[in-house]
Amino acid sequence: MKRIQLVTSLSLLLFSLSAAADDLMSIYEQAVQHDPQYQAAEADYRANQEAKAQGRAPLLPQVNLTGRTGRNTTDYNIYEPNTNREGTSEDYDSSSYSLSLSQTIYRQDYYVQLRQADAQVARAEANFRNARQELMVRVAQRYFTYLGAIDNLGFARAEQKAIEQQLNQTEERFNVGLTAITDVHEARARRDQAEAQTINARNELEVARENLREITGMPHEAIAELDKESPLLRPEPEDIDQWVETALDHSLSLIAAEKSREIAEEEINRARAGHYPTLDLVADHTYTDTDGGGFGAQETEETSIALQLNVPLFSGGLVKSRTREAAARHIQAKEQYIQQRRAIEREIRSAYLSVVSNISQVKAFAQALESSRTALEATEAGFEVGTRTAVDVLNSQRELFRAQRDYAQSRYNYILESFRLKQAAGVLAEQDIQQVNAWLQ
């Protein structure tokens, strides 16, 4: 039994020391800088922030300057009786410029559009903050999946080594007539199975390493392990209903859904504004200079200031159609909000129960691990005195390594479910990453 523990420890230690280990916090910081999914979310956030400026722009003065210069030709067809005189032509230059200014005084759709811009920016902020929290969960999930793959490879190698030792011992006992050939065959079959499991564990480790590299864009040959004495913290507060209330107030995906509903509601008002009159202040200044033409060389300058009123009378039913469309979109957004609200409540309750359950599972698997160690020691002692077979020893060894894997995985699952609970509630923060990072070694 001591040999098995020593092989396991050395296997994990050599793997961990093969390269400088990265921890959870450093990998998260790398992901913030290099994860394409998060970078795309940040770019989308910056793009949506421009909605406010774009919504305000039509309400500000609009100034335009236009100018032209050209060469003109005028043909004169003059009829004079009893003469052979034909029409004449004249070439001359002309130039002009026009400076115009318009200022919105009343346009209902512009005011609605500005309110929509506020909601759009708020939605974009909620989506971006949610993307940050989702990144934390993705990094933690891939980190502990990678760590679990390292554990599994170490356990598989240790189990393979232990089975090979058991096979050698069984063959020696068979040679002196102390055991049956069936035990030898069983031990050889278990060795072959263990070799296949080691190959599979090595492949899973490579996949887990690549999954982590996908987020950061760089390789991670070794990562910090979870301390055996890491605590099991219960949800705070220990009241599932309070977690639901927190989620309904702070869930970022729910906030984004609410802002989408507000935008859809304002879209109805914007569509209806197609029936409303518009009023603008319009000012123009035009200058024209010509050196020929029908009136000879002349220079003109004109300035006008006016109030421009537009009253829509009939648009072929377009405004009413757009209003009906907007009303239907609003119902869609409202139902999506209700669905998101229910989904958040379900996620919170499920995550809370999973955290509490995982704490119990970790304790149960820890006890099962101790029981498996004791059982293996008893089986090995019985094998030495002939009361247990080699198959019994192999079965006990398998149960021990299975218990080791289950215990390690349950600790990782506990941390991940804790993250998912806080992310669903909208309260996951970098401090949670730092807290878990302090549990690594």
> What are the Cα distances from residue 247, in Å, to 126, 142, 241, 330, 333?
14, 25, 10, 24, 20
Strands 62-76 and 297-310: unpaired
235 cis-preceded (ω within 30 degrees of 0): no
Whether residue 234 lies inside any domain: the answer is yes
Dist. CA 256–CA 262, nearest whole Å: 10
Range of the domain at 244: 31-60+118-274+318-438
Q: How far is CA 100 from CA 186, 210, 285, 330, in A?
A: 95, 61, 6, 39
Q: Establish if 152 belongs to a structural domain.
A: yes
β-partners of residue 104 are: 280
144: in domain: yes
> Taking the model in full, what pTM does it have?
0.82
- CA–CA distance, 227 with 223 (Å, rounded to integer): 12
DSSP annotation of 17: T
Residue at 188 is within a domain: yes
Give residue 6's pLDDT: 39
Can you give the pLDDT at residue 159? Answer: 79
CA atoms within 13 A on the CB side of 314: 1
Q: What angle do CA 257, 262, 264 make, to 5 degrees?
A: 95
Residue type, 421: L
Q: Are 92 and 291 in contact (CB under 8 A)?
A: yes
Rg (CA), the chain: 39
Cβ neighbour number for residue 224 with a 10 Å cutoff = 19
The number of distinct structural domains making up the chain is: 1
Question: Per the domain annotation, does 204 fall within a domain?
Answer: yes
pLDDT of res. 178: 66
The pLDDT, as a whole number, for residue 85 is: 47
State the CATH number of the domain containing residue 162: 1.20.1600.10
- The partner residues of 69 in beta bridges, in order of sequence, read 95
- Tell me, yes or no, whether 73 lies in a domain: no
407-431 pLDDT, tens per residue? 999 999 999 999 999 999 999 999 9
Longest dimension (CA), the chain: 147
Q: What is the pLDDT of residue 145?
A: 94
Domain assignment of residue 180, yes or no: yes
Three-class SS state of 316: coil
Distance, CA of 268 to CA of 320 (rounded, Å): 10
pLDDT < 50 stretches in the chain: 1-18, 83, 85
Best CA proximity match to 138, nearest among 421, 420, 355, 352: 420
Assess if residue 369 is contained within a domain. yes
Give the integer Cα–Cα distance in Å for 106 and 66.
26
